[in-house]
Structure 1
Amino acid sequence: MKSLQTILQYLFFLGLGILFVWLTIKDINQEQWQHIKFSIKNARYGMIAPVFAMIFLSHYSRALRWKILMKPLGYTPTTFNTFAAVMIGYLVNAGVPRLGEVVKCTLLARYENVRADKLIGTIVVERAVDVVCLMVVFILALAFQGHIIGSYTADLFTSFFEDKAGQFSILKLALFLFGVVTFIALIYTLLKRFGHIDAVAKVKKIILGVLLGLNSIRLIKNKGLFIFHTLFIWTMYLASTTAGIYALRETDHLGIGAGLATLGIGSIGMIVTPGGIGAYPYLVTKLMLLYQISEETGTALGWLLWSAQTIIILFGGLILAALFSYHNKNKKTIAHRQHHIP
């Protein structure tokens, strides 16, 4: 039953990804395809190499941060095994969302003196921190790009609260606030009263997990280094995204502000479908329209940024998966020989 649920979940997210791919390319005619090819062909390829390097460094820093989280548990795995487990986890997540987290804990437990079940708690902390960082990215994007994405959001908000005559409606605002309060009260009641039901219990577990994860950060011994790696990871995300935007000549004027907005909206795409397939390029394309960038160029940018991230995960994950077993088998052989030296 569990395996069937996993298969159905995978098919759903894969289907969602295919849907976004179709939505991205369905209206592109031959002339527009030529424009996309032209944008990519004339890109500054010297800026694409740093994109790969920065993405790679962010993953390596994530492995080092994970080691910091394991230290209070008494675990000190090697950096190679930790990094390999992280990359293999990303590779698995590209096919089956969230399965990669279990796989990387299991792999590390196989070759290091750690317990997979105890490592799950560290994953919860990581995800909680990432949620907070993503929220900060959105806030910064609104702060620095409010005149572009903020005005679009404001227009939607204003039109939602206008009456038929185009005037601001106090009644609509009151109904909206009442609805928000009612919704929060309803969610609280459902979680408290029907917590024994599996679906409700899972939602409650996620919310409590995030809160518990954030609270457990205080147990980390080297908080300064943990914060450094967290900032470094998201700085590399931002820098690689901005470098990708600069690589296309049609978008090189947008700057770091657009990089913030693209990072935020692109992260949502990565969450929605396995590896962000379809969803990431689609959302980036729609975002670029707010910057008065043509849909063809936006599509080219979306697929360029997504491809860079995916190539690192696919090749890095596959190479490290191949080296992982060999490295640990060789390490065991050396340890065995040393043990039997008279």
Structure 2
Amino acid sequence: MGQKYIKQFIQVVISLGIAIWIFWFLYKDIALDSLIDQVKSSNWSWIVFSILISILGYFVRSWRWTLLIDTEEGQKVTVTRAYHALMVGYLVNMLIPRAGEVARCGVLTRTNGISIGYLIGTVIVERSVDLLCLVSVILLAFMVERELFLNLANQLISIDSLGEQLLSNLPIVIGGLAILLLLVFYILKRFRDHGLINKLQHFFREILSGLKQIGTLANPAGFWISSISLWVIYFLTMYTIAFGIPSTANLSSGEILLVMVMGSIGMVAPVQGGIGTFHALVAFILIQLGISEVDGKIFAAIIHGTQVLLVLGAGLISWLIMMKLPSWIKPEEV
């Protein structure tokens, strides 16, 4: 048991170290005066509005979670209580990546008497749908800003020359794909009992079973509407804060969508609160959109900083509220 905790501690320290290093590398050349000037020149009415939209998003996510908690076990979970548990989870995620998902389930287990295994199952369903939505949003961004996508790809590799090479070597390409598919099939069959293969198969089975479970809910329409609404809210959060900062006020809605996609990918990285990875990807796409490097990095710092302060403040309040609630006692134990 001691070795397990030591291993987890080392993983946390490494992920935090990587996050801090990326953040330092990005901002080491930016003078503090530049950041202060940008903050002072920003329209904080828009930024506060952005924060209010974020809070709405947390309540929508909480409502969606209650739709999944369809069990006679324990006490019925209200949206308010789900919100407080959710914010505690986000607070824990700021310290230990991904641990917040278990933490929020543990909070409801203590206060509402619902088994943690059941609650973790609902979180897996949530994350499966969130992944599906993220892929859908990336495809939407590609369709809206197709030219910019192709320009970015061309910076990495010449698409035209790649296409010509593929066509001129079509038989080799088809043969190579066939060999690759056979190799994948062989590996899956030969090493089907290997831990990594089992984990991958288990991951996809969980996503499929989670999607099937949604159809059995009492309010499946509400679940899908809230899931889509969350991404609309994420977009509006970034869109309004862009209005509040002079350097990004003229970005189009399609360009903001691209920035949101890059930021979402940065938040998926296994580091505390997306520190560093969020800033790097958001700043990168803004530079491609014609924003100066300094302004792009400062924009990323402002939007991420306001969200971090919101999570810290709301998370601590929710933690205090939930800790004051008594632990759930089964009726037969009274």
Relative to the length of structure 1, the TM-score reads: 0.86
Q: Could you tell me which of 172, 180, 196 is aligned with 1:199?
A: 196
Q: How far 1:254 moved relative to its partner?
A: 0.5
Q: How far 1:37 moved relative to its partner?
A: 3.3
Q: Deviations over 1:216-237 (max 9, x none)?
A: 2111120121122112211111
Q: How far 1:162 moved relative to its partner?
A: 4.5
CA contact (8 A) 1:52 1:308 kept: yes
Q: How far 1:291 moved relative to its partner?
A: 0.5
Q: Once the two structures are aligned, what percentage of the paired residues are identical?
A: 26
Q: Deviations over 1:242-294 (max 9, x none)?
A: 11111111111103212211111111111112211011111111110111110
CA contact (8 A) 2:67 2:223 kept: yes
Equivalent position of 1:79 in the other structure: 79
Q: Deviations over 1:132-169 (max 9, x none)?
A: 11111111111112222332224534359549xxx645
Task: Give 4+ residue runs of structure 1 displaced > 3 Å after superposition.
Answer: 33-37, 72-75, 154-157, 159-163, 167-193
Equivalent position of 2:156 in the other structure: 156
Equivalent position of 1:145 in the other structure: 145
Whole-angstrom CA distance in 1 between matches of 2:185 and 2:312: 41
In 2 relative to 1, CA 172–209 (structure 1 residues): closer, same or farther, beyond 3 Å?
farther
In 2 relative to 1, CA 270–183 (structure 1 residues): closer, same or farther, beyond 3 Å?
farther
Whole-angstrom CA distance in 2 between matches of 1:308 and 1:45: 11
Equivalent position of 1:284 in the other structure: 282
Whole-angstrom CA distance in 1 between matches of 2:264 and 2:144: 18
Whole-angstrom CA distance in 1 between matches of 2:98 and 2:140: 28
In 2 relative to 1, CA 162–63 (structure 1 residues): closer, same or farther, beyond 3 Å?
closer
Q: For structure 1, list consecutive stretches of 5 or more residues without a partner in the other structure.
A: none
Equivalent position of 1:57 in the other structure: 56
More deviation, 5-14/49-58:
5-14
- Pairwise CA RMSD of aligned residues? 2.7
The amino acid of 2:193's aligned partner reads: H
Equivalent position of 1:135 in the other structure: 135
In 2 relative to 1, CA 193–261 (structure 1 residues): closer, same or farther, beyond 3 Å?
same
Whole-angstrom CA distance in 1 between matches of 2:84 and 2:46: 27
Is 1:170 aligned to residue 143 of structure 2?
no
CA contact (8 A) 2:105 2:119 kept: yes
Whole-angstrom CA distance in 2 between matches of 1:310 and 1:79: 22
The amino acid of 1:150's aligned partner reads: L
Whole-angstrom CA distance in 1 between matches of 2:121 and 2:172: 41
Whole-angstrom CA distance in 1 between matches of 2:201 and 2:43: 47
Whole-angstrom CA distance in 2 between matches of 1:29 and 1:237: 28
Relative to the length of structure 2, the TM-score reads: 0.88
In 2 relative to 1, CA 153–323 (structure 1 residues): closer, same or farther, beyond 3 Å?
same
CA contact (8 A) 2:284 2:296 kept: yes
The amino acid of 2:82's aligned partner reads: T
The amino acid of 1:246's aligned partner reads: F
Q: How far 1:192 moved relative to its partner?
A: 4.0
More deviation, 132-141/71-80:
71-80
